[in-house]
Amino acid sequence: MVIIRPRFSFTFSRKVSTIINSMTIGRPAEMGPNIFRLTHADAKELPVEKVVDLYFKKYLPISSCLPTPLNRPQEPLIFIPGLFGSTKMYKKEIQRLCNLLNIPVYAVDLRSHGQSKYALPLSFNAYVSDMVAFMKQQGIERANVSGFSLGGKVAMALALKHPELVSKTLVVDISPATQIHLSPMIDSFIKGLTHVVEDAGINSKDKDWFEQADNALEKHVPHKPTRRYLLNTNLLREHPVKKDGKVHLKCALYHFKSSEILGWPEDEFKGKTYLGPVLFLKAKHSDFIQDSHMDQIEQYFPNYEIREVNTYHLIPNERPDFLIQNFANFIGKKESSF
């Protein structure tokens, strides 16, 4: 484990305050060549593991020079990124939220995402088991748990299976329901990324290699912010071992199944209810939370509220201010302009 402690000094009027920004970084999983996908044939089978160690970043608040301490919730916040996402995508936003709430924030990569270990199964049971083990390892008895998209489903599953571990739940544009109607979209992501590395003929030595990849993906994923979301997290300019001049993917692309990603284990959660506060952030131009899902939301999470924003699915990427403001208000403090 590595601890980074950059130090800065600022002067406010006649008062000088030293601000220490601390961030603890969990050790990334060993990066074997088998997790870098070039072709279907290279997509070697992943190991099957009941629980894996998750890569994480722990953000600590910058010491405030305000004369009055901020309101401080007792529990830290855990944030889980979405499908094909990773902790590296939201560093600035998480640090800002951390400073605002004056609590630790843990950003955690799910298994087979980011820098966590790549392993099967890719199921909600496995995701939840990993999160429980992570909290135990970090000595977190109880936390506010949040997640975007797939990460939001994991947050909900954790709250339903282990309500004693979750103080509040914050869910970004996803519902506790099966969303098989979104299968064509997920399939287009997989086909598009496959096209980028297998068929587009991109030379990684070209200066415009990333723009070439973006253009190649556009046919399958017209929405530019979504393309950038997929490429920034998963596309590598070169293989760590093979120096073949080709771009590569670092993700478990060919192991994700729409039925698992978009499913929801209704039988397992039948009769379960989480009574703690739950916030849903809903994107207006998105099909991830539908009117038909409201009965299930009310059944599982009777103490819920929903706030809508005029954007598409990628709320953390396209409307970070909205997310930070609502997270802060919900957890315990309104944002101010200091």
Which residue in the list 146, 173, 214, 293 is annotated as catalytic?
Answer: 173
Rounded CA separation 321/215 (Å): 29
Which residue in the list 112, 116, 149, 286 is annotated as catalytic?
Answer: 149
SS3 179: coil
Question: How many helices (DSSP H) and strands (DSSP E) are in the chain?
Answer: 11, 14
Q: Are 187 and 195 in contact (CB under 8 A)?
A: no
Rounded CA separation 270/268 (Å): 6
267 is catalytic: no
Q: How many CA atoms lie within 13 A of 91 on its CB side?
A: 7
Which residue in the list 113, 220, 255, 313 is annotated as catalytic?
Answer: 313
Rounded CA separation 240/41 (Å): 18
Rounded CA separation 29/68 (Å): 41
Rounded CA separation 105/60 (Å): 7
Which two three-digit tokens encode residue 220?
């399958």
Which residues are CB-neighbours of 11 under 8 A, at least 6 positions away? none
If you count them, how many residues does the chain have?
338
Q: In DSSP terms, which residues pair with 3 in a beta bridge?
A: 24
149 is catalytic: yes
Q: Are 266 and 153 in contact (CB under 8 A)?
A: no
SS3 breakdown of the chain: % helix, strand, coil, rounded to 5? Answer: 40, 20, 45
Report, as residue numbers or ranges, the catalytic residues.
Answer: 149, 173, 313
